[in-house]
Structure 1
Amino acid sequence: MNRYPLWKYLLLLVAIVGGVLYALPNLFGQDPAVQITPARDAVSVSAIERRAQAALEDEGVDPLAVDRNEERVLIRFTSQEDQVQAADRLRTELGREATVALNLAPATPEWLRSINARPMFLGLDLRGGVHFLMEVDLEAAVTQSLERYQTDFRRVLRNERIRYSAIEVEDNQRVVARFREAADREQAVGLLREEFRNLNLEQEERDSQYWLIAELPEEERQEIQDFAVEQNITTLRNRVNELGVAEPVIQQQGANRIVVQLPGVQDTARAKDIIGTTATLEFRMVDEDHYPYRGGAEEPAPPGTVKYPARNPRYGDYVVMEREVMLTGEYIVDASSSIDQETGQPQVDIRLSSAGGDIFSRATRENVGERMAVVFIESRQETREVDGETVTERVRSQEVINVATIQEPLSTRFRITGLESTEAARDLALLLRAGSLAAPVDIVEERTVGPSMGQENIDRGFMAVVIGFVLVVLFMAAYYRVFGLIANMALLLNLVFIVAILSLMQATLTLPGIAGIVLTVGMAVDANVLIFQRIREEIRAGQSPQNAIHSGYAKAFSTIADANITTLIAALVLFLFGTGPVQGFAVTLSIGILTSMFTAILGTRAVVNLIYGRRRVSRLPI
């Protein structure tokens, strides 16, 4: 009656051994480390490793170990002092050829890593780092879309030789095309309606001119805004990866906000500068009649042109260009910096999508022998003091970084030269490679969590788990005697399983997650309490010990299942509809519910059957 077949004991043994093995990595701690990620155009990882080791030898810093894979080099140290000293030396040695980031590397032994046993990640509140809450400017995303339609309208009408007075974006809500003749407008309506079927076109007569008004449907406006948030999340993730940050958290919060958490980051200014910058390129033809430009800063640009300052003095103070944009940065799919072998000057190699290559090839073929300018457009947040108060504002800058003569038609691959430094080429390549933000983002909240605070949170959370565990153990041992000790063994095994599963999932443990574990410790013995109380009632009713054990487990099962399933449903709802901290709590609670049912129903039953199932028992110590 109370005997398990051999396969159940073997299943339990395999689960225990596996749980212990995959929970073990969390006991070995972490080593201070420096992570080196080569740039895409840099030398190989092995060459970077050799240079790094030579630089550290010159510096007199002894690394604990050096790990290398196809993407990066990880150098471990015995102390944080060696880590910081090594990072400074490596940044000087490698320059912009690689990203050097401070990190904490798990000190897991090789034999555990060989079976893919790794510690779970620690969240920002435990490890320290920086937290950004960023707000996406959704209206700017719509405006940028309208500006693209404005450029497309000009291109289509010019190709068909339809005359118009002006095409403008009005109130950031619609594109307005004005015509002097009604026939021109009628011809344009038919053409644009066929070319842009998604737009709502209306006709009006104002100021003795014929107007054509194009508006975005509400569905497309919403789609543009949703895409802007999704694209920004992808771009931010790419930029964070370029920084070499381990275990970042980048997720949407609400309709227009993005949470970025970078655990372990110490250079917060660099991180803020990279992830908060909106950068793209525009390619425009230079107005040959006004090159080089002789006018001053206050003098307006000639009609039909735009005027931007030049970054390099050899192009003059300003460059006058045609208003029409040949190509924008949205067609760039890859960018890398390198050195021109002939001149020794830094350059950025650009690769376009096939659609961008077609547009660029057609535009440059028509302008061979003429000058083309590359405009770098950057939007970033700047913080300054005004009357003793900190004011944050978004600053947009537009600079000409290159002017070159088109020697032949360009296609999907070309290069930008004339950059003032290797560092400028590296930063430009990084921003273009990671992708341009689909809409500007404003950092509305910034928090830095120090590692000492994170360690304090770990210590307090660990102490809470220990105290809760000890109190439950003492109560169960005193109240249920031998059966209480069996329940305590199951409770310890339950904690091991929770840690092992979190490690296998490579989940991120946060402070709310620790709260979920503490709650699980208290709830995990509920099932055993129900079973043991049922056994007591069966004994009082005159049942034999063996029958009481069988009835206790059998009759309490439905109650245990009902209670745990309802709690699990609540945890799943918290996970689906909650945000970061709430989800962390829900994950540990859900795992704890499942493991506690396994250990309480299968684990304790196996031990009870092993002790009492194969002999006559006159009295149970319960």
Structure 2
Amino acid sequence: MLQIDLWKRILIWAVVAAGLIFAAPNLFYGRVEAHNDAVTAIEREGSTQELEAQAAGWPSFLPSGLVNLGLDLRGGAHLLAEVRVEDVYGARLEALWPSVRDALRPLRDEIGTIRLQDSPPDELRIAISDTSGQGAALQAVRDLAEPVSSTTALAQGGAQNIDVSAADGILTVTLSDAERAATNERTLRQALEIIRRRIDEVGTREPTIQRQGADRILIQVPGIGSAQELKDIIGTTAQLTFQPVVSRSGDPEADPGVGEEVLPALDEENVFYTLERSPVVTGEQLVDAQPSFDQNGQPAVNFRFNTQGARAFGDYTAANIGSPFAIVLDDEVISAPVIQSHIPGGSGIITGDFTIEESTNLAVLLRAGALPAGLDFLEERTIGPELGADSIAAGQLATMVAFALVLVFMVASYGLFGVFANVALILNIALLFGLLSLIGATLTLPGIAGIVLTVGMAVDANVLVFERIREELKTAKGPARAIERGYEKALSAIVDANITTIITAIILFAMGSGPVRGFAITLGFGICTSVFTAVFVTRLLIVTWFERRRPKTVTV
């Protein structure tokens, strides 16, 4: 008999009601968006009267998830950046010099004096005065090599991270090929994560940050003002180091010694510091940085190191009381205070001629971490909101025209049953937006195309059912039996057609990127909601109508 159990009816309507509730915030997009921004700002910065008023614009007990608008709909910034992975090689070898020096010191009776030589960025050259001990020195430095923990190293049988050679009293240390490959991979992963953290810090919605090729990163951020604004957020390296001061002068052409460098002062004109290259502590050991004010009420940044950094910082300050100590940010000395006493605990304050905005931005950059290497921006575009508005209007028009034509076709072809299909179709779109809002999906122009395709596919399932009912009305005993058999026999065709399409959507999502993924998501979710509304919602509407009217004949 044509019947549906009570618990199934309750479950179907509960799913429909949940979809409508989760989709509802999109009807009040501006209010809900302002509410979400205010709640995020309150959590991050604290409550203000203005933020509380904005947060009250949408009831807190209702869902506030929205379908985020993509770059092509909302406008924003697009960047394609290339990571200068070669910069990391020099930094790795430079950091290796103290270990090499310590390894060679016990051999001074055999090798004589040890001097660091000027060398290319991807090499470390050390001269020894007594070449008779060259073999011992070579072995001592080779003992510093460590296995490279990467798939590349495994493929090469456990390769070492450095290659060491010697000739005429000169030891040359370079990174091995396996270590370079592993360094490239780590650098790209670290750059991706730090860029993502920096963008998340400023509260932008649904950015697209993904790797392209061996050393490039694609960055798309909807809703941001310009490509330059985005570059200002992510383009600064924010490399913080604490380095010993050798001397201070007004000569930018001062000739530094081996292992030293000359850097300008940030807030003092014609002042330059000669510093030891090897830092005592780096920004990588920083665990927190917050904007604050110094003892004179000027904007500053409080910082705190991890346990390792705190120990190194405390030991150095205890051993060098009375000596200047440079705080260097991106190759500029922002402060060079004299160490007055031992500083335990690993915390301190960075002062300078900052504005409140500059101190806040500096804290964000330091907290997010330093980029491991510089970026070259190969492509940059700013997409205005006007273009996005035109795209939204065009997408809305296309969807409404397709929707209206489908509604008219269904009523003209199937009469009352077409009305039931149209009600289910409207609920289908609502369920789709509810699902997209629930997961915070991003809607792009290809995604709108996926919605239009979903409309057609939802109707296709109903057409299969109704045509099958027509066939059964010619042979079945009574309309109830015809409707029941129509759904039973059309189900296999509906499932087959939609399974093949959802497999295609999964492949598109797995292998595609950006807009292609947006299309795949809306198509995949649209298939699920279409099958649900065609098989369950439309059938429930027909069964409810049939139970109340009990017609002797049915015309489809």
Q: 1:502 aligns with which of 406, 412, 436?
A: 436
Question: Superposed, which structure 2 residues align to 1:420-431 within 5 Å?
Answer: 420-423=353-356, 424-431=358-365
Measure the CA separation in 2 of the matches of 1:13 and 1:20.
10
Partner in structure 1 of residue 294 of structure 2: 340
* 1:351 equivalent in alignment to 2:307: no
Shift in CA distance, 251/292, structure 1 to aligned 2, threshold 3 Å? closer
Measure the CA separation in 1 of the matches of 2:41 and 2:535.
52
Shift in CA distance, 241/7, structure 1 to aligned 2, threshold 3 Å? same
Higher normalized strand content (fraction of residues): 1
- What's the secondary structure of 1:525's corresponding residue? helix
8 Å contact from structure 1 (residues 356, 412) kept in 2 = no
Measure the CA separation in 1 of the matches of 2:169 and 2:112.
13
Cα distance per residue 1:186-243 (max 9 Å; x no partner) = 444454444432335555443x22425343341x333322222222222223322333
Partner in structure 2 of residue 309 of structure 1: 264
* 1:400 equivalent in alignment to 2:400: no
- Matched letter for residue 498 of structure 1: L
Cα distance per residue 1:401-424 (max 9 Å; x no partner) = 222222334445243555123455
Partner in structure 2 of residue 211 of structure 1: 171
Q: How much has 1:22 moved relative to structure 2? A: 1.8
8 Å contact from structure 1 (residues 312, 418) kept in 2 = no
Question: Superposed, which structure 2 residues align to 1:480-495 within 5 Å?
Answer: 480-495=414-429
Q: 2:320 aligns with which of 346, 357, 367?
A: 367
- Matched letter for residue 208 of structure 2: V
- What's the secondary structure of 1:300's corresponding residue? coil
Cα distance per residue 1:269-298 (max 9 Å; x no partner) = 4432121111212222222xxx4426x333
Question: Superposed, which structure 2 residues align to 1:178-193 within 5 Å?
Answer: 178-182=127-131, 184-193=133-142
Structure 2 residue runs without a partner (length 5+): 148-159
Q: 1:115 aligns with which of 62, 69, 79?
A: 62
Q: How much has 1:613 moved relative to structure 2? A: 5.5
Measure the CA separation in 2 of the matches of 1:372 and 1:109.
52
8 Å contact from structure 1 (residues 301, 320) kept in 2 = yes
Partner in structure 2 of residue 147 of structure 1: 94
Measure the CA separation in 1 of the matches of 2:118 and 2:13.
71
Measure the CA separation in 2 of the matches of 1:339 and 1:614.
74
Q: 1:197 aligns with which of 146, 156, 173?
A: 146
Partner in structure 1 of residue 26 of structure 2: 26
Q: 2:499 aligns with which of 550, 565, 572?
A: 565
8 Å contact from structure 1 (residues 135, 257) kept in 2 = yes
Cα distance per residue 1:338-390 (max 9 Å; x no partner) = 3222x44544322112122233333333323322222222xxxxxxxxxxxxx
Cα distance per residue 1:398-455 (max 9 Å; x no partner) = 2222222223344452435551234554443332122111121222222222222222
Shift in CA distance, 311/186, structure 1 to aligned 2, threshold 3 Å? same
* 1:612 equivalent in alignment to 2:507: no
Cα distance per residue 1:168-195 (max 9 Å; x no partner) = 6965544444433356544444544444
Question: Superposed, which structure 2 residues align to 1:214-233 within 5 Å?
Answer: 214-218=174-178, 220-233=179-192
Measure the CA separation in 1 of the matches of 2:132 and 2:42.
56
8 Å contact from structure 2 (residues 134, 169) kept in 1 = no
8 Å contact from structure 1 (residues 465, 518) kept in 2 = yes
Q: Report the TM-score when normalising by structure 1.
A: 0.78
Q: How much has 1:476 moved relative to structure 2? A: 1.5
Higher normalized helix content (fraction of residues): 2
Partner in structure 2 of residue 524 of structure 1: 458
Cα distance per residue 1:456-488 (max 9 Å; x no partner) = 211211111111111111112112222222211
Q: 2:280 aligns with which of 318, 321, 326?
A: 326
Measure the CA separation in 1 of the matches of 2:526 and 2:360.
47
Q: How much has 1:116 moved relative to structure 2? A: 2.2
Partner in structure 2 of residue 451 of structure 1: 385
- What's the secondary structure of 1:368's corresponding residue? coil
Q: 2:252 aligns with which of 288, 297, 313?
A: 297
* 1:132 equivalent in alignment to 2:85: no
- What's the secondary structure of 1:278's corresponding residue? coil
Q: 2:198 aligns with which of 235, 239, 246?
A: 239
* 1:281 equivalent in alignment to 2:236: no
Cα distance per residue 1:531-558 (max 9 Å; x no partner) = 2222222334465433322222112211
Question: Superposed, which structure 2 residues align to 1:515-554 within 5 Å?
Answer: 515-541=449-475, 544-554=478-488
- Matched letter for residue 260 of structure 1: I
Measure the CA separation in 2 of the matches of 1:35 and 1:539.
59
Partner in structure 1 of residue 396 of structure 2: 462
- What's the secondary structure of 1:591's corresponding residue? helix
8 Å contact from structure 1 (residues 347, 418) kept in 2 = yes
Cα distance per residue 1:543-580 (max 9 Å; x no partner) = 54333222221122112111111111110111122111
Cα distance per residue 1:34-74 (max 9 Å; x no partner) = 8698899x9x724xx25xxxxxxxxxxxxxxx444xxxxxx
- Range that drifts further, 266-275 or 521-530: 266-275
C-alpha root-mean-square deviation of aligned residues, in Å?
Answer: 3.1
Measure the CA separation in 1 of the matches of 2:40 and 2:541.
51
- Matched letter for residue 213 of structure 1: V
Percent identical:
39
Shift in CA distance, 178/613, structure 1 to aligned 2, threshold 3 Å? farther
Shift in CA distance, 122/323, structure 1 to aligned 2, threshold 3 Å? closer
Q: Number of matched residues?
A: 538
Q: How much has 1:520 moved relative to structure 2? A: 0.5
- Matched letter for residue 401 of structure 1: I
- Matched letter for residue 546 of structure 2: Y
Shift in CA distance, 409/156, structure 1 to aligned 2, threshold 3 Å? farther
- What's the secondary structure of 1:405's corresponding residue? coil
Measure the CA separation in 1 of the matches of 2:39 and 2:112.
57
Shift in CA distance, 586/200, structure 1 to aligned 2, threshold 3 Å? closer
Cα distance per residue 1:144-163 (max 9 Å; x no partner) = 33332345434554588686
Measure the CA separation in 2 of the matches of 1:557 and 1:169.
77
Shift in CA distance, 437/593, structure 1 to aligned 2, threshold 3 Å? same
Measure the CA separation in 2 of the matches of 1:172 and 1:403.
27
- What's the secondary structure of 2:437's corresponding residue? helix
8 Å contact from structure 1 (residues 25, 108) kept in 2 = no
Q: Report the TM-score when normalising by structure 2.
A: 0.87
Q: How much has 1:600 moved relative to structure 2? A: 0.7
8 Å contact from structure 2 (residues 82, 378) kept in 1 = yes
Measure the CA separation in 2 of the matches of 1:300 and 1:546.
97
- Matched letter for residue 288 of structure 2: D
Measure the CA separation in 1 of the matches of 2:242 and 2:64.
51
8 Å contact from structure 1 (residues 128, 451) kept in 2 = yes
- What's the secondary structure of 1:286's corresponding residue? strand
Measure the CA separation in 2 of the matches of 1:159 and 1:35.
62
Partner in structure 2 of residue 9 of structure 1: 9
Shift in CA distance, 610/440, structure 1 to aligned 2, threshold 3 Å? same
